[in-house]
Amino acid sequence: MQFSPTLWLIYLSLSSLCVTLAAQVIHKDVAIIGGGAAGVWAATLLEQMGKSFVVVEKEAHFGGHTETYTIPGTNTTLDYGVQGYSPLVNGSYDVIERFFGAYDVPISYIHRTETSGGTPRYFDFRTYQELKNFTYSTDLSKYTTQVDKYPYLNFQVQTPSPIPSDLTLSFGDFVKKYSLQSSVFDIYYQAEGLGDTLSLPAYYVLREMNAAHLLALQPSSPGLLVTTAGDNQEPYIKAQAKFGTDALVGSMVQSVHRNDSGVELTVNTPSGPLTIRTPKLLVTIPPTTSNMEPFDLDSSESNLFSKFAYSGWFVALVNITGLPVNASFQNAGTDTLYNLPQLPAVYQITTTKVSGVYLVRYGSAGYMSTDDVRADIVSSIEKIRAAVTSNAGYLAAPSILAFGNHLPYTLHVTSADLAAGFDNQLWGLQGHRSTWYSGATFTGSSSTDVWNATQAIVASMLAA
């Protein structure tokens, strides 16, 4: 048998291609996994210090939980992920100014009274029955007294050892112990996205709705910082452009070898596999066992990561015709404890600055597929619309313009694991096998807290 000249040529070019691809090796001071708030701020700080880096991001764009939609044919942008930025617990907005300042993105304050989203009507999204005249307390003074006992819940996951036992109570028991019943509905929605809030250890609720969060709610506070253009993704898009080939977007980590002297990663990029050699790896993605599968976990790492459960949080911009002007719809149980909604379900449907376009937030206590969430969002909107209009049958079906999947959200462990010292063991992984960690799991979910803590983590990583 004889090779045809054509096949032979193909064979030759394929084999030389393989040689070229295998030879693609780059060396960087730091490799960062994840192009969200933690990863992009870390990269920005490294660039300012003259260090070399790559950022590996599986999506096509940087931004993490920050997502912005542009209405086609216009310059109107709508943020449907991260909405705004609260201060640090000392009242400082400095790290926010530095993040946006690094990319020349104008920002302005928005007082909490300006963040409306429409006048809420409360419905039980199981029966679509309206809770007429539903009210709840927004007096958080008793809750604040509790939060103030734990100042360290404002920056990183470390707690004193042993962890105070109140923090390991289920939030439901914590509420009863400190008579916070009248505030639960408010806290639940302030800390939206946690999943089954009452059964979570109180630690996670207090960390989410911490003193910094409470500060931004004070009438005397300037409130939140937002981008003046309503485009929170802008600094991320600019960072991605600025980093050029050091922004490996659309890229998946294939395999990793780590030891105390350094790290070698193989990454599948849109232009082929790439090997990165680096003395330091910074992981900013949620460290679930499935996300960390390619990272050659040792037993201490996999023992910790395998304890994580997580909630699901999903957001969508939906074009809906026929809803009453300026009304928003919030899920409240008619017969549930503290009127909390039963998940999985739509949390709220709120207005945006574009008439007819609504921001829909959806929550689950665990995994859900994107298809199931999208289908439930559309069917819930149709049922709400049928409940509030008489001509719903003649209206166009709701159409999802943009969808954001924030699963896995709020990684958490059980009260027993927390009591056994989980958070300090997790923090103890910093530097283990040349690997450091940042991101919401390590710093709390507020972007401001993520940025402040990331700065300290980067400094200690470089000093090691």
Contact positions toward ligand NAG, by CB under 6 A?
Answer: 71, 74-75, 88-90, 92, 94, 132-133, 154-156, 257, 259, 261-262, 264, 319, 321, 325-326, 356-357, 396, 401, 452-453, 456
| CB distance 328 to 349 below 8 Å | yes
Q: With respect to ligand NAG, which residue has the nearer C-beta, 13 or 92?
A: 92
Q: With respect to ligand NAG, which residue has the nearer C-beta, 246 or 296?
A: 296
Q: With respect to ligand NAG, which residue has the nearer C-beta, 156 or 331?
A: 156
Q: With respect to ligand NAG, which residue has the nearer C-beta, 12 or 456?
A: 456
Instruction: Tell the smallest beta-carbon distance from residue 6 to ligand NAG (Å).
Output: 40
Instruction: Tell the smallest beta-carbon distance from residue 263 to ligand NAG (Å).
Output: 7
Task: Report the number of secondary-structure helices (H) and strands (E) in the chain.
Answer: 16, 21
User: How many of the other CB atoms lie within 10 Å of CB of 126?
Assistant: 16
Instruction: Tell the smallest beta-carbon distance from residue 196 to ligand NAG (Å).
Output: 28
Residue of 117, 119, 133, 147 whose CA lies nearest to 339: 133
Residue of 360, 347, 395 whose CA lies nearest to 81: 360
Instruction: Tell the smallest beta-carbon distance from residue 215 to ligand NAG (Å).
Output: 10
Instruction: Tell the smallest beta-carbon distance from residue 66 to ligand NAG (Å).
Output: 21
Q: With respect to ligand NAG, which residue has the nearer C-beta, 172 or 262?
A: 262
Backbone torsions φ then ψ of 164, nearest 5 degrees: -55, 135
Instruction: Tell the smallest beta-carbon distance from residue 166 to ligand NAG (Å).
Output: 21
Residue of 414, 439, 409 whose CA lies nearest to 427: 439
3-state SS, residue 88: coil
CA distance 410 to 426: 15
3-state SS, residue 110: strand
Give me 153's structure tokens. 């819940």
CA distance 181 to 389: 34
Q: Which amino acid is at 36?
A: G
CA distance 127 to 123: 8
Whether the CA torsion 175, 180, 182, 186 is positive or negative: it is negative
Whether the CA torsion 429, 433, 434, 439 is positive or negative: it is negative
CA distance 149 to 137: 22
Q: With respect to ligand NAG, which residue has the nearer C-beta, 85 or 155?
A: 155
Q: With respect to ligand NAG, which residue has the nearer C-beta, 173 or 296?
A: 296
Instruction: Tell the smallest beta-carbon distance from residue 448 to ligand NAG (Å).
Output: 8
Instruction: Tell the smallest beta-carbon distance from residue 101 to ligand NAG (Å).
Output: 14
Q: With respect to ligand NAG, which residue has the nearer C-beta, 152 or 367?
A: 152
